[in-house]
Amino acid sequence: MIRKPELLAPAGDMECFSMALQYGADAVYVGAKTFGMRAAAKNFDFATLQQAVAQAHAKGVKVYLTVNVLPRCYEMDVMPEFLTEAAAGGIDAVIAADLGVMTTLRKLLPHVPLHASTQTGVVNYATAQALYDMGAERVVLARELPLEDIAEIRAKTNPKLELETFVHGAMCMSVSGRCLLSEYFTGRDANRGACAQSCRWRYHLVEEKRPGQYFPIGEDENGSYILNAKDLCMMPHLQKLYEAGVTSFKIEGRAKSFYYVAGITNAYRAAMDAMFGENPAPIPQWAMDELEAVSHRPYTTGFYFGRPDDSIHNATASYVRTTEVIGIVQHWADGRLFVSQRNRFFAGDAVSLLCPAEPPRYFTVTDLQNGEGEPIEAANHAMMDCSLALDTPVPKGAILRKAAED
């Protein structure tokens, strides 16, 4: 049987974490309330982190904690206490970018595995090996690397060193993450998890002697998005990554919604089970289709096949999607599906169900009732309890969807 790479999913809160577990992640990476690179996410306090780890371990899933900011001196003073308390929760690894954090972890908690963050900028085998010699069990490779460089790093480093790469999600215009735009424009430091996504803004040229006159750079009448990267998608090329020696396939998205985590994790789980199972098979078409269902920018393969041309840039700031969430399944009983509403829907709507490890189920809403069992024509109150007729059982946590409205 082919050894399967790890599927590593993101989670910015417990709702996303639960979805990652339910929809097939082998490991989940999360951030604490401090020292992580996603300050906008809800993140995890130590008590919640411990609960999350317990739930994950009960399913054989690992949990990695991001401690990947570049800490100031005063923050290093409290780093030993932070790492000790985090480790007490049972985490399976710490993802770090700063050499001081790495050495502190190795000295203080030598039993806790260390993963070197993509922000360490690993683009060659010498750096990867040096990090392994420092105690890193895994390096998250820089996103600028083509496949042939990954293969060379694999060939010229200790075979025990694990290699992790991003396969899906948003790409920073600074690629490996050391960006100064947000700090310059807004005072929000991207290297400390507070990125304002300045690269996604509209830009024009202004000529010194023509103040107040804005000249398009060349994209369209609304401005240019030359700094605005498309989203990465490597699902059709996972076999090539595997052959290059990648250990872990990482999905970006700790600031994304529970639906994004569920849908993308489910799709990659199906793809990997098909490709790396006992009887390897092509990626199911429904898994490829699911990549379009969640909100995303147009897709690119980034740098994996060499230096990209303009196709890596997104010509607008808009997202695309084909579906929207209308409810979360609470339970199924006696031919009825009980859901908690998220967006309005109506009797007669054509809908679909996203369930773990299977293609979407399509049907029409019939016999719609409110939480008291009274017939209704519309579920139009946020978070309301409601139910509808459905013959087949559905697991708790399945996601009810309909076509996205313009």
Of the candidates 120, 46, 31, the residue with the CA atom closest to the CA atom of residue 81 = 46
In this prediction the pTM is 0.88
pLDDT for the residue numbered 245: 97
Q: How far is residue 28 from each of residues 133, 209, 246, measured CA to CA in Å?
A: 25, 53, 17
Instruction: Quickly count: other Cβ atoms within 10 Å of residue 26's Cβ.
Output: 20
Specify burial of residue 326 (Cβ count, 10 A radius: 0-12, 13-18, 19+): buried
Give pLDDT tens digits for 343-377: 999 999 999 999 999 999 999 999 999 999 999 99
Q: Tell me the average pLDDT across 24-46.
A: 83
Does position 143 have pLDDT exceeding 50, yes or no?
A: yes
Instruction: Name the helix (H) or strand (E) containing 139.
Output: strand 136-140
pLDDT band at 246 (very low <50, low <70, confident <90, very high): very high
Q: Tell me the average pLDDT across 278-301.
A: 94
For the record, the structure tokens of 141 come out as: 């490779």
Give pLDDT tens digits for 208-219: 788 887 765 555
Sort strands 205-206 and 214-215 into parallel, antiparallel or unpaired: antiparallel
d(CA 201, CA 195): 13
Strand partners, 338: 331, 387
HEC sequence for 209-224: CCCCCEECCCCECCEE
Strand partners, 248: 6, 164
pLDDT for the residue numbered 1: 40
d(CA 36, CA 218): 37
Give pLDDT tens digits for 314-347: 656 567 889 999 999 999 999 999 999 999 999 9
Cα atoms in the Cβ-side hemisphere of radius 13 Å centred on 52: 32
Does position 70 have pLDDT exceeding 90, yes or no?
A: no
pLDDT band at 37 (very low <50, low <70, confident <90, very high): low
d(CA 208, CA 215): 12
Of 10-14, 213-217, 278-282, least confident by mean pLDDT is: 213-217
pLDDT band at 262 (very low <50, low <70, confident <90, very high): very high
pLDDT for the residue numbered 233: 96
pLDDT for the residue numbered 208: 77
For the chain, the average pLDDT equals: 89
For the record, the structure tokens of 175 come out as: 């690629």
Q: Tell me the average pLDDT across 191-207.
A: 71
For the record, the structure tokens of 294 come out as: 């969640």
pLDDT for the residue numbered 207: 74
pLDDT for the residue numbered 328: 97
Of 109-113, 164-168, 195-199, 293-297, least confident by mean pLDDT is: 195-199
Give pLDDT tens digits for 148-195: 999 999 999 999 999 999 999 987 765 565 666 666 678 777 666 677
Does position 27 have pLDDT exceeding 60, yes or no?
A: yes
pLDDT for the residue numbered 373: 95
Instruction: Quickly count: other Cβ atoms within 10 Å of residue 316's Cβ.
Output: 15
Of 33-37, 56-60, 164-168, least confident by mean pLDDT is: 33-37
Contacts of residue 311, defined as CB under 8 A and 6 or more positions apart, other chains included, come to 230, 300
pLDDT for the residue numbered 35: 81
Of the candidates 188, 121, 129, the residue with the CA atom closest to the CA atom of residue 154 = 129
